[in-house]
Amino acid sequence: MHFYRILPSSVEKFKHESFSKIKKTSKGYFWFHKEDKSEESLKIWFSEHYKLSKPLVGLLTQSRSRITAEKNGLFLILKGFRLNKKKDIEDLVPIRIWMTEKTIITTVTEPVQSLNTVAKELETQKNIPQTPTDLLIRFLDLSLKYFETLVEKMEDSLESLEDHLLSRKPHEIDVSQKISDIRRLSLIFTNHFRPQSETLHMLGTQKYKWVNAKQQEQFLALFHTTDHVIETLNNLLSRASVIHDELDAQSDKERNRQNYILSVVATLFLPITFVTGLFGMNVGGVPYSMHPYGFAGISFILILTLLIVLLVLKKAKWV
């Protein structure tokens, strides 16, 4: 739980208990950030401390990125990457934001990387945003940079998989699993960030209170960058699908080759099996059963049969 009073050249951190007294008398603007694992608790807290319309109260448990303008403020839902890297990276954290001229409130169910970085910058008096909108832009910029880095790593991983496939060494690593991971992440991130891209476009093109022309340009720049990253994800998805199809084709080719070898071996030994089965019958009258050179004669016949079959297969270009 963080509460900051942010002035043009300084930042003060307060306890939540003093929030109601300070916000009525102080200059500058304020950022209150609350973390709670229960979305319902956050909804109750928001409803008790800030006068929101009934439609907005209903949105407090939603997770899809959006923007809603009220007479006294802006309500946004955005996505951020969780601070705990041990958990699945694709499970992004919804951030509910209420912004007015002098206040910005953010609520999350668990720590978010970009918000944590912004808080550290404020506590060290670095990169102090001058308005609540500037703080929002700073958070979005940090989140987008992390997103770009993540997608670049996915690109590098995909290029490495392509090299393994071209070198005909797909079995040295689990290519199929890695391809599936890239496809899954590409789809998940696209689904998360496409609505966020639309929200950024709205912030950059429509007029809202407390968003000036320069800030609109910054939102538009963030929109274009996000849109470009989404295009990159779509490209990754297409490339991963092509590699997956090529991998399947190679696997089918390998299986066909193995089946072909087994068929040739079975064809070679089929006549021999017939001859050995015929002479191995435990009945009277089997030729050469008592002859001293019977075994050598039968062996000669088997080898001759094998050579004849092999010659026929070679002439038919099966081997």
- Give the helix/strand (H/E) hosting 118: helix 113-123
Buried b (16+ CB within 10 A) or exposed e, 277-306: eebeeeeeeeeeeeeeeeeeebeeebeebe
Pick the CATH number of 260-315 from 3.30.470.20, 1.10.287.3510, 1.20.58.340, 3.40.50.410: 1.20.58.340
Nearest to 117 by CA among 130, 104, 135: 135
Q: What is the DSSP letter of 92?
A: P
Residue 11 per-residue DSSP state = E
One DSSP character per residue, 140-203 reads HHHHHHHHHHHHHHHHHHHHHHHHHHHTT-TTTTTHHHHHHHHHHHHHHHHHHHHHHHHHHHHH
Q: For position 314, what pLDDT does the model report?
A: 77
**Reduced to 3 states, what is the DSSP secondary structure of residue 3?**
strand
91/189 Cα distance (integer angstroms) = 9
**Average pLDDT value over all residues in the chain:** 81
Look up residue 45 and give its amino acid: W
Dihedral angle of Cα 97, 100, 101, 104, to the nearest 10 degrees: -30
Tens of pLDDT along 49-58?
666 667 777 7
pLDDT of 218 over the 90 cut: yes
Contacts of 21 (CB under 8 A, 6+ apart): none
Q: Give CA–CA dist 111/71, Å, rounded.
A: 30
Choose between 56 and 232: higher pLDDT.
232
Cβ atoms within 10 Å, residue 108: 22
Question: Average of pLDDT values for 158-179?
Answer: 72
The confidence score (pLDDT) of residue 169 equals 57
Joined together, the tokens standing for residue 30 give: 């304020």
Alpha carbon of residue 154 to chain centroid? 9
pLDDT digits (tens, 9 = 90+) for 16-49: 555 555 555 567 888 888 887 777 776 777 666 6
Per-position DSSP letters for 284-318, written without gaps between them: TT-TTSS-TTHHHHHHHHHHHHHHHHHHHHHHTT-
Confidence band, pLDDT 50/70/90 cuts, at residue 288: low
Q: Is 260-315 the same fold as 2-250?
A: no
pLDDT at 230: 94
| The residue to which tokens 């993540």 are assigned | 150
Q: % helix / strand / coil in the chain, to the nearest 5?
A: 60, 15, 25
Going by pLDDT thresholds of 50, 70 and 90, the confidence category of residue 213 is very high
* Residues shown for the chain: 319
Percentage, residues of the chain above pLDDT 90: 22
d(CA 24, CA 304): 106
Report pLDDT for 15.
Answer: 66
Q: Where are the domains of the chain?
A: 2-250, 260-315
CA 101/CA 235 separation, integer angstroms: 40
Q: What percentage of the chain reaches a pLDDT higher than 70? A: 84
User: What residue has token string 């998805």?
Assistant: 237
Q: What Rg value do the Cα atoms of the chain yield, rounded?
A: 35
Which of 74-88, 169-183, 211-225 is predicted with the least confidence, judged by mean pLDDT?
A: 169-183
pTM, full prediction: 0.74
2-250 under CATH 3.30.460.20, yes or no: yes
pLDDT band at 319 (very low <50, low <70, confident <90, very high): low
Q: What is the pLDDT of residues 72-84, one digit of tens each?
A: 888 899 998 887 6
Per the listing, tokens 């038919």 go with 316
